Amino acid sequence: MKTIVTIACLTGILACSSRAAEPRAGPLPVRGLHVSAPSRKDIPAFAEFIRGPLAKAGVNTLIVEFNLRFDFKSRPEFADPSAPNKDDVKRIVDACREAKIQLIPQVNCLGHQSWAKHTGRLLEKHPEFDETPGKYPENKGIYCRSYCPLHPEVHKVLFALIDELAQACEAKAFHVGMDEVFILADKDCPRCKGKTTAEVFAGEVKCLHDHLASIGCRMWMWGDRFIDGKKTGIGTWEASTNATHSAVDVVPKDIVICDWHYQKAPETAGFFAGKGFDVVSCPWRKPAVGEAQVKIIRSIRAGKDRPAAAHALGVVQTTWCGVVPFMQAYNKPAGADKTPAGEAAQCFRATMQAAGQPAKGE
């Protein structure tokens, strides 16, 4: 089933389309924000932030990274009464509907299954899904754990959780993460051994894509593993140096790529648009980077390559500081907060202003 995605042009109201609208002058079609999910007690404030400041800033896309911080009912082992439940999420859904903002839930898939000494809930509840079971005690010597995408039971569990969260969010799009995957096709994994990292990565992208399509959700994901970090010189984090990049040529093209770069603004959005992917650029803490990314997107949209132009959708600001610190920083006068949250808020202001303005030549 071909997934239908909502995309906004001038009004900020999302209309169904499997392709971006033809480029035109005016605000960029996607003007988004990515945040971590709030705690239960902070949901009322978050809902008002959506209705007020985010709507006023021109945001029309909101990615909320829940991961497995939700009181799941489909899999009893993942129940968590302290986490947001369906009724709590409904308040976010209603606020987004009122503000004409598309809500996109996120669960990190494949990588990011641990952080420092803490192992995430998927591998905590199902250690048999670990790509490297018994290796790296206390997660020493690694960045983050990965689940094994070839384990015969992993998707049965993961898809139940994704489906429940997508339904609670009334989602038509779903973000699966998949950034910074360093543990993949491990030589000691009996299922992945002998396979290439690109083969395993592409297989999981396809598997997630096809499942999301079956429930009526378009897939969004981070794009770093599709960029050749050695050839481009971008490096290990914002691009791949573990040979996953060739997977870009064998995965479905109706995935929305979130092309994140935080220190500089390389012109990788054009790479994805040229490959046939819809793409949004994603800054974090530097206003100049966000503004440069907007210029790159506008340049693609105004270019002579009309198929590529239609794929350059806009920008999504990331935060990485917790949603409450970000809200608090944004509600202060511009420049008043010198914390990382304040830096993200400043970048957000500059990026949304640039993305929301009419531009000549588009």
pLDDT in tens, 113-171: 999 999 999 999 999 999 999 999 999 999 999 999 999 999 999 999 999 999 999 99
Tell which phi-psi region holds residue 138, choosing left (phi > 0), alpha (psi between -120 and 50) or beta: left
Q: Which fold has domain 5-355?
A: TIM Barrel (3.20.20)
Q: Where are the beta strands (DSSP E) in the chain?
A: 5-7, 15-17, 30-36, 61-65, 102-109, 114-115, 118-119, 173-177, 218-222, 256-260, 278-282, 312-317
**Confidence band, pLDDT 50/70/90 cuts, at residue 22:** very low
Residue 13 has pLDDT above 70, yes or no: no
pLDDT of 25 higher than 70: no
Q: Where are the domains of the chain?
A: 5-355
Q: Residue 24 pLDDT more than 80?
A: no
Residue 213 is which amino acid?
A: A
Quick check: 289 and 268 in contact, CB under 8 A?
no
- By DSSP bridging, strand 256-260 and strand 218-222 are parallel
Q: What is the mean pLDDT of the chain?
A: 92
pLDDT at 1 over 60: no
| Cα distance from N-terminal residue to C-terminal residue, the chain | 33
Residue with tokens 């018994």: 134
How far is residue 290 from each of residues 12, 16, 262, measured CA to CA in Å? Answer: 20, 27, 8
What is the predicted pLDDT for the residue at 335? Answer: 76
Share in percent of the chain as helix, strand, coil (round to 5): 40, 15, 45
**pLDDT digits 0-9 by tens, 316-354:** 999 999 999 999 999 998 778 789 999 999 999 999 999
